[in-house]
Amino acid sequence: MAARRLGGSSWQQVVSLSRRCCLPGGRRERYRCSSSSTALGKTVENSGVTQEEIVLPRRKTWDKLAVLQTLASTVNRDPTAAHYMFQDDPFLMPRNAANSRLFSLSKESGRNAAKYIIKQFPQYFDKTFAEPNIPCLMPETLTPQIEGVSEEALKERIHLRRVKDAVDLFDQLVQAGTPVSLETTNSLLDLLCFYGDGESASEKEEEEKEDLEEPGVNASEQKAPKRQFQRGSRSSGSRWRENNNAERIFKIMPERNAHSYCTMIRGMVKHGASAKAYDMYIDLLNERHKADVHTFNALITAVPYLKERFLERWELAKVFLNHMAQQEVQPNLLTFNALLKTLRRCGGVGRSMSLLVIKEMEALDIEPSLATYDHLLFIFYRGVDLSPSGIISEVLDDVEKRTFTPQDPDDANFFATAMQTCCDLKDIKLACRLNKAMEKGDNWKFLDMDRLNAYWSKFFSLLCMMEQIDVVLKWYKEMSPSLFYPTPKNILDLLQALDAANHLEVIPSVWEDMKQLGFSRRQDLLEELLSLMSREQHPEEIQLAFAKCAEDIKAVHEPTGREQAPLEWTGSALGHVAVLFSRAGRTQDAWNMMERFQQINRIPTDQVMDEFLNCAKQTNCPDEAIKLVKLAASLGLPSSQRLKSRTEKEFELSEKQKKTLESIKSDSDSSDSDSDSDSD
């Protein structure tokens, strides 16, 4: 930073600036780069006071990312562009949420395809061109090297996570009578329990071709670090089968230690066999072993599957906690998070007990993570009448002060839950506080693409409800499309906000956005849009703009020759479009609309017909007026009489036209006998 500022300012200014930089910003990462600032500061001081001895500062070492991190901190979000990962070809920038998800999945899928090729054909990728060599781009050697039936070979296969091979080798060893050490058997059990007798990803890939549609699904078991769309590995698809390999091996083990029991319990809980896990735990106690903290955490998460009634669930959880205390196992953050997760499913009991849990955490000096707060908010704010408790502001107080590091897979849910709560409470201030907390430090990283969209979407709806229109429009311009893609609900809320603020002239630009977002075929949005535009008369240019929108909407309803079937007209939509055309003086277009009413078996309202007549009068098209009267008569509308008299009065009709008009009268004779004698 000091280096950048050297350009324009004098030396003294630079020094004072750099001193200002480094003094308060000791904690901030940005200014870490100003390496020479402390040295400068010291020398200036020294020049003033000659008695001071010169203390040379120690040489600073920077980690490899310091330069890049500083540079990255200078770049802000571009509000007009899509996310960086889509910036390749402007044509390929996604315009709405569905597309953005699709594109990012395709990008990830491309990467996975490339990795697959490298893995399948390593013989083509053996030359190392790069100096120094880049190991992560080279094919990995995953084939086991050690052959033969030995414990070493078994260990290698376990390490390479080849489940089937390891089990086969173990069976061979047992049959041959070779003793397998307890440690190796335990690590084999670990492997089996983790994968639940399914296969690890490397084996899956060998057997079947990767599904390129949903690469995210495989990600839960893959070795490569997962990127987006990761919801955390919940219990994987394979369920715990009766007498699977893990159970079988467990039974034939000559000796077992606490680790064996613990890993079995964890595996059973992970794969949905909660009752068995509980039985296994009882066995562990009978053998006088001690479980470790992870096992207890797993047992606590399994409580909702073991008991039905709320109080019983809580009692069982307390039993486990008491056992922990007795066995002198220290609980950690995950213990309490698991406890709160169980309390989520305990209704009212959960509400009373969760606070006790929080106080317990405090007493043990365990700092809550975002998952803790997420569970709390869920317990207090979801599912029942929102009692006005101050929990959420207290939670926000805590969250605002800290930056968080991920400690629990459920941390990612916090911001979404919190924003949902703010929206339910209709509190915009809380939402703003939440935003600030999210933008602090690295907290933004907890929201992945999907959640980010949902988060901002909810925030925007709240804004539309609660804030002034200029604030809403400002946020709208800033946030979409770079931060989120508005959902149809957002557009509806925006339209309503515009209506409330009497700012309907913005509607044409909203329509443009709607077209970009791909909402131009949604009936509900179209109805809302049309009714807002046609409700009142507006000044000339706005009316023309509205008519242009109406034309676009009309185009949506026409057959385009592409795959999409044209939208069906509804009576109200047709009427609105006709009104809009009429008000803009586009008589021919308006007449086109009027003609369609019969096609869809609908009747135009009086207002529509009056507007059309007004339009015809202004544009001086008596023929159209006569056509209208004919139409009304043929439809047998009661207003046809009125229209006829209006036409007679307001238009200058030629003789022929007058005759035509009168002849229409005779059509309506049959239906309108009373007025007949009067009008003639």
Partner 1 sequence: EKDESTASKDSATEVASKSREGTAETPKQKLLDLIGNMKVEVSYRNKLQQLKTREIKKQATNKLEGPDSEGSMLQKTTEDTQRGKPLNPELVKAASAVASSLPLNKKQTESELLAQLRRHEETTDKQKKGGTINIRNVISEMAVKRQSPAQGGLRISRRISLELDEDGHRIKSERLSPQSSDSRRSLKVGRRLNIFTKASKETENALKTVSSPTIWDLEFAKEIGAITAQPPRNGFEEMIQWTKEGILWEFPIDNEAGMEDDAEFHEHIFLEKHLEDFPKQGPIRHFMELVICGLSKNPYLSVKQKIEHIEWFQKYFEEKKELLQEI
Q: What dihedral do alpha carbons 549, 551, 557, 558 form, nearest 10°?
A: -150
Per-residue b or e along 223-236, where b marks 16 or more CB atoms closer than 10 Å to that residue's CB: eeebbebeeeeeee
Closest distance to partner 1 from the beta carbon of 391 (Å): 7
Task: Give the shortest CB-315-to-partner 1 separation in angstroms.
Answer: 12
Interface segment toward partner 1; rule CB under 8 A; list 229-237, 455-463, 605-613, 669-677 = 229-237
Q: Which residue of 100, 112, 263, 417 would you call a contact of partner 1, by CB under 8 A?
A: 263
Closest CA to 615 of 592, 594, 597, 590: 590
322 forms part of the interface with partner 1 (CB under 8 A):
yes
> CB 277 → partner 1: shortest distance, Å?
15
> Which residues within the stretch 479-518 sit at the binding site for partner 1 (CB under 8 A)?
none
Q: Which of residues 558-617 bind partner 1 (CB under 8 A)?
A: none
Q: Taking the complex as a whole, how short is the minimal distance between the CB of residue 371 and partner 1, in angstroms?
A: 10
Question: If binding is defined by CB under 8 A, does position 54 make contact with partner 1?
Answer: no
Q: Are 523 and 557 in contact (CB under 8 A)?
A: no
Distances in whole angstroms, Cα of residue 166 to Cα of each of 114, 149, 179, 221, 606: 28, 11, 15, 18, 82
Choose between 66 and 567: whose C-beta lies nearer to partner 1.
Answer: 66
Distance CA 280, CA 258 (A): 11
Q: Which of 291, 357, 430, 504 binds partner 1 (CB under 8 A)?
A: 357
Minimum CB separation of residue 389 from partner 1 in Å reads 5
Q: How far is the CB of 201 from partner 1 (least distance, A)?
A: 11
> Among residues 564, 534, 558, which one has the least CA distance to residue 547?
534
Q: Which stretch binds partner 1 (CB under 8 A): 309-317, 424-432, 467-475, 663-671?
A: 309-317
Structure tokens at 254: 């000559």
Contact call for residue 203 and partner 1 (CB under 8 A) = no
Q: At what angle do helices 333-343 and 310-326 cross, to 10 degrees?
A: 160
Interface residue with partner 1 among 3, 6, 23, 71 (CB under 8 A) is: 71
Q: Which is nearer to partner 1, 410 or 624 (CB)?
A: 410
Query: Largest Cα–Cα distance in the chain?
Result: 121
Cβ within 8 Å of residue 234, ≥6 positions away: none
What mask, x for binding partner 1 by CB under 8 A, covers residues 388 to 417?
A: xxxx--xx--x------xxxxx-xx-----
- The least distance separating partner 1 from the CB of residue 113, rounded to whole angstroms, comes to 18
Window 73 to 92, contacts with partner 1 (CB under 8 A): 75, 77, 83-85
Residues 254 and 143: beta-carbon distance below 8 Å: no
Residue 309 is a binding residue for partner 1 (CB under 8 A):
yes
Is the CB of residue 622 less than 8 Å from the CB of residue 647?
Answer: yes
Given CA atoms 533, 534, 538, 544 in this order, what sign does their dihedral have?
positive
3 state SS of 543: helix
Positions 329 through 348 that interact with partner 1 (CB under 8 A):
330-331, 347-348
CB of 232 to partner 1, least distance (A): 6
Rounded Cα distance between 79 and 87, Å, is 13
Q: By C-beta, is 378 or 546 nearer to partner 1?
A: 378
Q: How far is the CB of 598 from partner 1 (least distance, A)?
A: 47
Distance CA 395, CA 376 (A): 9
Q: How many CA atoms lie within 13 A of 530 on its CB side?
A: 25
* Piece in contact with partner 1 (CB under 8 A), picked from 51-59, 113-121, 447-455, 656-664: 447-455
Q: By CB under 8 A, is residue 64 in contact with partner 1?
A: yes
Q: Is 387 in the site for partner 1 (CB under 8 A)?
A: yes
d(CA 285, CA 279): 10
Nearest in space to 630 (alpha carbons), one of 612, 655, 607, 618: 612
Taking the complex as a whole, the smallest distance from the CB of residue 538 to partner 1 amounts, in Å, to 42
Contact yes or no for 607/579 (Cβ under 8 A): yes
Query: Given the complex with partner 1, which of 412 and 529 has the nearer CB atom?
Result: 412
Give the residue, chosen from 168, 171, 360, 667, that forms a contact with partner 1 under the rule CB under 8 A: 360
Angle between the N-to-C axes of helices 293-306 and 274-286, in degrees from 0 to 180, rounded to the nearest 10: 130
Among 16, 35, 69, 99, binds partner 1 (CB under 8 A): 69
CB of 434 to partner 1, least distance (A): 17
Please select the residue that binds partner 1; options are 147, 207, 365, 655, rule is CB under 8 A: 365
- Interface with partner 1 (CB under 8 A), residue from 72, 102, 113, 142: 72
Minimum CB distance to partner 1, residue 161 (Å): 8
CA dihedral sign of residues 328, 333, 334, 339: positive
Q: Give whichever of 365 and 536 is closer to partner 1, judged by the CB atom.
A: 365
Residue 208 lies near partner 1 (rule: CB under 8 A): no
* Residue 311 binds to partner 1 (criterion: CB under 8 A): yes
Radius of gyration of the chain (CA): 36
Among 506, 483, 485, 482, smallest CA distance to 496 is for 506
Least distance CB 347 / partner 1 (angstroms): 5
Distances from the Cα of 238 to the Cα of 235, 301, 367, 532, angstroms: 8, 19, 35, 53
Indicate whether 207 belongs to the interface with partner 1 (CB under 8 A).
no
Site map 167..196 versus partner 1, x via CB under 8 A: --------------------x--xx--x--
* Closest to 455 measured CA to CA, from 491, 479, 425: 479
**Positions in 620-659 near partner 1 (CB under 8 A):** none
Cβ proximity to partner 1: between 200 and 587 the closer is 200
Residue 174 beta carbon to partner 1: minimum distance, rounded to whole angstroms: 21
Task: State which of residues 40, 324, 338, 396 lies at the interface with partner 1 (CB under 8 A).
Answer: 324
Q: Does residue 385 touch partner 1 according to CB under 8 A?
A: yes
Q: In angstroms, give the least distance from the CB of 216 to partner 1.
A: 11
Q: How far is the CB of 441 from partner 1 (least distance, A)?
A: 11
Q: Which is nearer to partner 1, 443 or 647 (CB)?
A: 443
Nearer to partner 1, 117 or 364 (CB): 364
| Of 133, 141, 143, 286, the one binding partner 1 by CB under 8 A | 133
Token pair recorded at residue 130: 């790069």
Cis omega (within 30 of 0) for bond into 559: no
Q: How many CA atoms lie within 13 A of 316 on its CB side?
A: 22
Q: Based on the shown chain and the rule CB under 8 A, indicate whether residue 470 belongs to the binding site for partner 1.
A: no
252 binds partner 1, rule: CB under 8 A: no
- Residues with Cβ within 8 Å of 159's Cβ and at least 6 positions away in sequence, in order, are none
Q: Does position 294 bind partner 1 by CB under 8 A?
A: yes
Q: Is 117 in the site for partner 1 (CB under 8 A)?
A: no
What single string gives the DSSP state of each residue in 194-240?
A: HHTTS--HHHHHHHS---SS-HHHHTTT-SSPP-SS-----S-SS--
Between 53 and 89, name the residue whose CB sits nearer to partner 1: 89
609 closest CA partner among 599, 630, 619 = 630
CA–CA separation, 507 and 541 (whole Å): 13
**Cα distance between residue 60 and residue 63, in whole Å:** 10
